[in-house]
Amino acid sequence: MSTDSTSAPRKLLRASRSRLLAGALMLGVTGMLSAQTLLPGQPAYAEPVRVQSAAPADFSQVVTAVQPAVVSVRVKQAAEPQMMNFGGRSQPGFGIPGLDAFPEGHPLQRFFERRGEGQRSQPRGEPKAYGMSQGSGFFISDDGYVVTNHHVIDKGTEFTVIDNEGNELEARLIGADSRTDLALLKVEGEKPFTYVRFAEDSPAVGEWVVAIGNPFGLGGTVTAGIVSARGRDIGAGPYDDFLQIDAPVNRGNSGGPAFNMKGEVIGVNAAIFSPSGGNVGIAFAIPASTATNVVSDLKDSGTVVRGWLGVQIQPITSDIADSLGLAKPEGAIVSDPQSGSPADKAGVKAGDTILKVDGKPIKGPRDLSRIIASYAPQTKVRLTLWRDGAEEDITVTLGKLNEPGAVAEVSPSLSGKTQLADLGIEVTDARRAGLDVEGVVVTAIDPNGRAAEKGLRQGDIIAEVAGQKVTSAKDVETAIAKAEKAGRKAVLMRIFSDDASRFVAVPLA
């Protein structure tokens, strides 16, 4: 009796333990299945990307802090007949046919004129002595320095800054730089102005951005979005390095700031991409890194002084990289060092590829232009070149860029008789053809040949092949054979056309 009474609780305890153990095992298996979704015979994979982040509840704190530093900029300028002005850029009649055909005082005429931030220069029939345009800007110091765009103040004779409270303040132009589209104004005032700073760190793609400005004359307008891309080249100038943002930006936002969530200026709004003229979610801002240096120079001297290398350059394509023996299509190949330039005096030659400047890698022509421009004249810089299949360092003392020429400029695309059938061209000695140049002239070309595919045309002068000067078809054949023996996939040719030169990599058979 006692034995049975003792064993019953033990059996009950063992059963309870079994149930707990089974439950624990099931929980473990269930946890594994939910974490990795494993099934019998199925391979294990790495965890997918998981991000824990939250969007800001609102932007009001940032806006409240920085908005007093943002201003509207009104510019009085010489008027052009029948033109409407937007942020310093004139647009004929808003692109609306028949705008000037409306009778004076017609309601539609007044409606269309109110749509833009600019006003008609003068009523029809009166002499057009001046016009008005508007843009945006922002204080960068408590003593009244204001940053805006060059195209906002271009051709301006009088400048007025309108602050967040609607006060109109006279301003004077300190300096402007058309190459980066930046300008600096100065407002005289007794009270300290609320101002903002440029960000020291570049924004990440996907980071929040707030734009404040004066679109269509509606001052104090706030929009928000994200940084869509960095390093955009939109063909605005030799130093293009724009931030792309999707915060709505329209005409009149030009010169206004784009802020990060710390209230720092990450960019100066400068342009939009828009087939219609309105916002489509693609705007471009000059990055703070560029604006900081330019504004500092303008504040110190009213102008920007840049270093000058004096070369024409072009990008390295995959074919050119193969023909030169470069591991990657990076750097900038020199198509022509300008005579008497710092590069020429230092021994830079056509065909050299600039890989680094003072150890800074050069991805392409834009990198080289920006880096050289960031140095002051008379600065000594070390160029790392790729020459004859090896790296070589040379030192160049930069000059001063005076004319709107090339700091390091991308070359324009150019594009008896012997047949070079493999290349699909027929050539003859240029001097024998009556040309006062060295090289061979392309007298005929197969439109389906490899040379034609790379842009060679009849009349082009081939001056060098694989780094060797050529004066006959035999020279071309010899240079090609040398490139083939070296295992090159393409042969690099220096081509002259219309008094300009470029390099073309023609694939080998």
Task: Report the half-sphere exposure of 31 (CA within 13 A, side-chain side).
Answer: 6
Task: Residue 464: name the closest of 449, 452, 478 by CA.
Answer: 478
The alpha-carbon radius of gyration of the chain (Å, integer) is 33
3-state secondary structure at position 191 = coil
Give the amino acid at 440. V
- The pair of three-digit structure tokens given for residue 72, joined into one six-digit string: 């509207």
- The pair of three-digit structure tokens given for residue 83, joined into one six-digit string: 């033109």
Strands (E), 388-460: 390-397, 399-400, 408-410, 418-420, 425-429, 440-445
What's the burial of 418, exposed, middle or buried (CB within 10 Å: 0-12/13-18/19+)?
middle
- The pair of three-digit structure tokens given for residue 391, joined into one six-digit string: 């790296």
- The pair of three-digit structure tokens given for residue 29, joined into one six-digit string: 């298996």
Strand partners, 225: 209
Task: Residue 396: name the closest of 405, 412, 404, 385 by CA.
Answer: 385
Strand partners, 438: none
- Residues recognised as catalytic: 151, 181, 254
Q: In whole angstroms, what is the distance from residue 343 CA to residue 322 CA?
A: 25
Q: Phi and psi dihedrals of 192, rounded to 5?
A: -70, 140
Contacts of 240 (CB under 8 A, 6+ apart): 232, 233, 234, 366
Cα torsion 300, 304, 308, 314: sign: positive
Cα torsion 28, 29, 34, 36: sign: positive
Beta strand 408-410 with 311-315: parallel, antiparallel or unpaired? parallel
Strand partners, 332: 315, 354
Cβ 319 vs Cβ 286: under 8 Å = no
Q: In whole angstroms, what is the distance from residue 183 CA to residue 365 CA?
A: 25
Which DSSP helix (H) or strand (E) runs through 285?
strand 283-287
3-state secondary structure at position 49 = coil
Cα distances (Å, whole numbers) of residue 70 to 16, 139, 190: 73, 7, 18
Q: Phi and psi dihedrals of 330, rounded to 5?
A: -130, 155
Count of H helices and E strands in the chain? 10, 30
